[in-house]
Amino acid sequence: MPGLDDLYREVILDHYRSPRNQGELETPPAVRTEGFNPLCGDEVIVFVDVDDTNVIIDIAIGGQGCSISQASASMMSAAIKGTSVDEARQFIGAFKGLMSIHEGDLGGDGSEAEMGIDADAADAGDIKLGDLEALKGVVKFPVRIKCATLSWNTLAQALDEAASDT
Amino acid sequence: MSIPADIKRDFPVLQQQVHDKPLIYLDSGNTSQKPQAVIDAMNDYYETTNANVHRGSYDLAVRATEALEGARAKVARFINAPAINEIVFTKNATEAFNLIARSWGAANLGPSDAVVISEMEHHANIVPWHMLSAEKGFELRWIPVTPNGHLDLSDLDTLLKGAKLVSVTAMSNVLGTLNDIPRLAEAAHGAGALLAVDGSQYVPHVPTDVQAMDADFLIFTGHKMLGPTGIGVLWARTEFLEAMPPFLGGGEMILNVTKEGFTTTEIPWKFEAGTPMVAEAVGLGAAIEYLDHLGMDNVRAHEIELTDYALRTLNGRYGDKIVIHGPQVASERGGVLSFVYGEPDMRVHPHDIAQVLDQAGICVRAGHHCAKPLLQTMNVPATSRASVYVYNDESDIDALAEALEASSDIFAF
Ligand SMILES: Cc1ncc(COP(=O)(O)O)c(C=O)c1O
């Protein structure tokens, strides 16, 4: 049976207590995108500033939410700041892979094998999720998956907007 | 007489463990648990009585029809309705509001009219009016809520000018506030408007008399009052039901159908198109019998006692680490306790609180409770909400108080 320790890992709590890249960026040059989780009222605002060479030169996170959504947003910002847009998209894909569960596996004993989590497969391509791996315990608490993916979906949207702006 | 100390035994769902802890259910404002008597009544209906209603000429169908209509009579008596045929069965409270909006509202509201609701309404009493207003162009006005969680009626006369309907909740599902319905009825009627009352939180917990309320419509929902899901109630005065056009069309609601058109049958069946929720009506009838047996005065007294105990226990133990929203006097409120918890400068998010409490076997709701305009007014994005009913006791509140401590341990800074 999964316990709270699986969910609230120390790295996660650290990002929740001291969120990285919190704040706002000037728009333009940055784009601003909002995401909502209607279930719990979480709200995330992602600012990204993409330069001419498709590098994310800055990112800022606003909004409010639970520890999982806030920590995930903070870790995401730290991971993708300074990467290219293509790398960021690979991160998004890899993270969402980590957060996906195979249907029918719910209600089992909650072990990783049981839940169909394959950490290697999640590390698609050259992307190493690093600290973000700490969030994989979230999959054992299915209602919290949307909390963890909120900022990533919002980032994906922000990158689309940044691309269409240029 | 009071609520029996061993009442939990009547509720099979409460006999289980989750995460190796006894289940403690504190989410009855969301939906209530069902006593064995309700489950048995529904099973018994299917095992002995099931047939389609109002159609068969055989004995079984007659008994099924009697089961449905018998439940309607119990509902009427429970709220002291003047007539049994003023009780319309709907799917839930939400459908009842949509019925009023689509039927009464569409026939009576135009661009120069106004509908007055309050900032503490459930989305069920907001969105149908937004939808209809977009079509009909009437104005939607809001009675404000004061910082201590009461309706601010100081400007009521202005709000009511030109209003055709006032639609407010008798008890807030977030703050627990009990609103002064007779006063609102007087004001609404004085201004030439009708009064609709959302009784979804009130009817399950407080002895209800629609005639004393002086309302024109009363809405409530079976699953919050020990009954099954899938059944709600709209009560309305005969004269309005008679005048209102039908809501959904189909079988059951007609007197005659030709290639040219149709005529509607009498009330309340005019508003009950298609095969109705007979087993659910039987379940609701059994829930009402169960509540009557406890005595609604005892139900309310138990709620006041337990709410008072919860306010004292949680405030006493946690001081400024907890803020319980709404009126602070138990007799002025229901047993829904929305709260924020944690150090004043860094509250623990409600979703995290609900998660920690779940590990202790305690069910509470976290979020906006389908009342986003209210949370906006309160300037909080979300709250945790513990809500009590007949089967809760002081030990459940003690368990809640104890388990909250664990969230401090995890989220301490
Ligand atoms: C005050 C209030 N009104 C309306 C509703 C809607 O009830 P239902 O979902 O059964 O339609 C609820 C319950 O969620 C409520 O608390």
Domains of chain B, by residue range, sit at 7-30+295-411, 38-293
Q: How confident is the model at residue A10 (pLDDT cuts 50, 70, 90)?
A: confident
Rounded to the nearest whole angstrom, what is the distance from the C-alpha of residue B202 to the centroid of ligand 1? 11
| Residues B330-384: tens digit of each pLDDT | 999 999 999 999 988 888 999 999 999 999 999 999 988 889 899 888 888 889 9
Rounded to the nearest whole angstrom, what is the distance from the C-alpha of residue B123 to the centroid of ligand 1? 8
Q: Does A107 touch chain B (CB under 8 A)?
A: no
**What's the pLDDT at A108?**
42
| Residues B100-112: tens digit of each pLDDT | 999 999 999 999 9
At residue B43, does pLDDT exceed 90? yes
Provide the CATH number for the domain around residue A44.
3.90.1010.10
**What's the pLDDT at A54?**
92
**What's the pLDDT at A105?**
46
- 328-387 of B, contacting A, C-beta below 8 A: 349-352, 355-356, 359, 366-368, 372, 375, 381-382
Q: How confident is the model at residue A109 (pLDDT cuts 50, 70, 90)?
A: very low
Q: How confident is the model at residue B238 (pLDDT cuts 50, 70, 90)?
A: very high
Q: How many domains does chain A have?
A: 1
Q: Which of B350, B356, B413 lies at the smallest CB-CB distance from A4?
A: B356
**What's the pLDDT at A117?**
41
Closest CA in chain B for residue A7: B355
Mean pLDDT score of chain B: 95
Pick the residue with more confidence: A163 or B116?
B116
**What's the pLDDT at A9?**
87
Q: How far is A114 from chain B (nearest CA, A)?
A: 18
Task: Residue B411: list chain A partners with CB under 8 A.
Answer: 13, 16, 67
Indicate if B370 belongs to the active site.
yes
**What's the pLDDT at A126?**
60
Per-residue pLDDT averaged across B265-294, rounded?
97
Q: How far is B384 from chain A (nearest CA, A)?
A: 10
Q: How confident is the model at residue B152 (pLDDT cuts 50, 70, 90)?
A: very high
At residue B41, does pLDDT exceed 60? yes
CATH number for B38-293: choose from 3.10.580.10, 3.40.640.10, 3.40.50.2300, 3.10.310.10.
Answer: 3.40.640.10
Domain containing A93 equals: 2-165
Q: Which residue ranges have their beta carbon within 6 Å of ligand 1?
A: B 92-94, 122, 124, 169, 173, 198, 200-201, 221, 223, 232, 370
Q: How confident is the model at residue A127 (pLDDT cuts 50, 70, 90)?
A: low
Rounded to the nearest whole angstrom, what is the distance from the C-alpha of residue B200 to the centroid of ligand 1? 6
Rounded to the nearest whole angstrom, what is the distance from the C-alpha of residue B219 to the centroid of ligand 1? 9
Mean pLDDT score of chain A: 82
Pick the residue with more confidence: A38 or A145?
A145
Rounded to the nearest whole angstrom, what is the distance from the C-alpha of residue B167 to the centroid of ligand 1? 14
Per-residue pLDDT averaged across A138-156, rounded?
91
**What's the pLDDT at A129?**
77
Q: Does B214 touch chain A (CB under 8 A)?
A: no
Interface test with A, best of B127, B348, B349, B384 (most A CBs within 10 A): B349
Q: pTM for the whole thing?
A: 0.91
Asked if B411 lies within 8 A of A13 by C-beta distance, the reply is: yes
Asked if B368 lies within 8 A of A65 by C-beta distance, the reply is: no
Q: Which fold has domain B7-30+295-411?
A: Aspartate Aminotransferase, domain 1 (3.90.1150)
Q: What's the burial of A16, exposed, middle or buried (CB within 10 Å: 0-12/13-18/19+)?
A: buried
At residue A106, does pLDDT exceed 50? no
At residue B324, does pLDDT exceed 80? yes
Q: How many CB pairs under 8 A join A and B?
A: 47
Q: How far is B311 from chain A (nearest CA, A)?
A: 24
Task: Please report, rounded to a whole number, the percentage of residues in chain B having pLDDT higher than 70.
Answer: 100
**What's the pLDDT at A101?**
64
Q: How far is B211 from chain A (nearest CA, A)?
A: 38
